[in-house]
Structure 1
Amino acid sequence: MSADAKPITSVWTRPHRPQREKLTREQIVTATVELLDAEGAEALSMRRLGTCLKAGATSLYRHVANRDELIQLAVDDVFGEMGPPSAATRGTWRTAVTRAAVDLRAMVLRHPWVGPELGQVGLLHVGPNAVRMTSGLLAQFEAAGFPAGEEDMAAGALMSYVVGIATSEAAYLSLIDRSGVPERAWLSDHSPDFGEETDPRQVREDRFAYGLDRILDGLASRLAPGDDRGPRPTGR
């Protein structure tokens, strides 16, 4: 590292010291997530967050060094909304992985800002909730009998699919929301092939399930015969 280069810092490497003042890290994280949900990542700044909390910048800097650390905390906080990892067993790996994928997609749709930010946070800055989720996936692939060294690649392939499609879906739903009209009406105006009796939400669910099935089919092909004994998720 050159003398002029700034070290990469992470909020997770700094001791979490209890503060005597009323403002806590938990309050900061909650307000950060609320601001991101309401206004998007572009609106987040230390000054803007301080205004929301009715606190000065000095109070915020006692807990976080900069905006990047706010993002790190917020990303891990929303990962905490996901259910705990299922017990890893060979016969149920596909069901458990499907559940994790469905939970991850739902989380990204609730928080449209999180998908683009995941790439910025990076593996060096993930917090305990994200580690719990990824460790659970790795345990499932290991229990399933994937070749040694492929567990992390299998988990990465799955998460790339889920985060990618959910981020695109979230952007599409944000566009619909900005239009001020229901999704069905928007599609009727913009898609000549859209049927009036079609449920657009079910179409999105089916497309996600289909892609997830194909991803898991491909991953299962890496198992020895007889190892893929878990029930397959419903897809089309």
Structure 2
Amino acid sequence: MPRDTLTADQIVRAAIELLDEEGLDGLNMRSLGKRLGSAPTAIYWHIKTKDELVRLAGDAIWEEVELPDLDGTDWRTAATAMATGMHAMLTRHPWLGQAFGSHLLYGPAKSRYDDHTLAIHEKAGFAGADADQAAASLFIFVLGSALGPAAELSLTRRLSKDGGDVERLMADTMAQAAEVARRFPRLRERLDTVAAADYAAAPDNSFEFGLQAILDGLEARLAAGANNR
């Protein structure tokens, strides 16, 4: 694709697809150019560096998070929808969680999300720094919840590239980890009820449980503040 017909949006969309398939390590201008049917030099005409490309791709996917109508729902339902939407987006694009630790990320789509999150907490009754703290607490929780699957996917890709039997290696590792865990009473008790391969897995609905626990805490803070007035 000649550079005069290639657009920055096409490049970013193709980069997102490549990142979803190969992760951060798999993104390079040669592979991207092949996907686009274009020479790598045509990409540089629009986007100068790989870091800039990751930033643009990382911002674009925030558009996938739907913003609830604050006039048509209560703050807690809206906060749940925003957090759930962010978690789903991070699960679809696990490389973004990793990119937070290796790239400078910003852009209008991320700012759009942040602004709406602040609006939700202001509607709830938080003001100033309290609204910032409430929004940040939810953001950190959701990001942390999505890092586990992202790390597992990254590890699986790396082990696959090393040419080993990934399933066997993972099974052997879990078995060894379970043997170590059996030295500790509470872990041993859990291992007596689950398979060794599953002992390190998070319980079902852990994300939902944690999200509701945080919202319960925020709601309690609001109620305590109202009672003190």
TM-score strictly above 0.5: yes
Aligned residue number for residue 106 of structure 1: 88
TM-score by length of 1: 0.71
Can you give the 5+ residue segments of structure 1 that lack an aligned partner in the other structure?
1-18, 228-236
Aligned residue number for residue 182 of structure 2: none
Can you give the 5+ residue segments of structure 2 that lack an aligned partner in the other structure?
161-165, 179-190
C-alpha spacing 1:136/1:22, structure 2 compared with 1 (3 Å): same
- What is the Cα deviation at residue 222 of structure 1? 2.8
In the comparison of the two structures, how many residue pairs are matched? 201
Alpha-carbon displacement from aligned partner over 1:185-220 (angstroms, at most 9, x marks no partner): x98998745658xx99xx655111111122222222
Aligned residue number for residue 29 of structure 1: 12
TM-score by length of 2: 0.73
Aligned residue number for residue 66 of structure 1: 49
- What is the Cα deviation at residue 35 of structure 1? 1.0
C-alpha spacing 1:225/1:88, structure 2 compared with 1 (3 Å): farther
- What is the Cα deviation at residue 115 of structure 1? 0.5
CA distance in 2, matches of 1:226, 1:93: 17
1:54 to 37, 42, 53: 37
Counterpart amino acid of residue 218 in structure 1? G
Aligned residue number for residue 79 of structure 1: 62
- What is the Cα deviation at residue 78 of structure 1? 1.5
Q: Which has the higher contact order (CA 8 A, sep 6+)?
A: 1
| 1:162 and 2:145 matched | no
Counterpart amino acid of residue 157 in structure 1? S
Alpha-carbon displacement from aligned partner over 1:82-113 (angstroms, at most 9, x marks no partner): 11x22336971111111111111111111111
Name the Cα RMSD after superposition. 3.3
| 1:213 and 2:212 matched | yes
C-alpha spacing 1:180/1:146, structure 2 compared with 1 (3 Å): same
CA distance in 2, matches of 1:165, 1:56: 39
Q: How does 1:1-236 map to 2 (within 5 A)?
A: 21-83=4-66, 85-88=67-70, 92-122=74-104, 125-172=105-152, 179=166, 192-193=191-192, 195=194, 205-225=204-224
Contact 2:3–2:42 (Cα < 8 Å) also in 1: no
Alpha-carbon displacement from aligned partner over 1:143-174 (angstroms, at most 9, x marks no partner): 11113222222211111110111111333366
Please state which structure has a larger fraction of its residues in helix: 2
Contact 1:36–1:43 (Cα < 8 Å) also in 2: yes
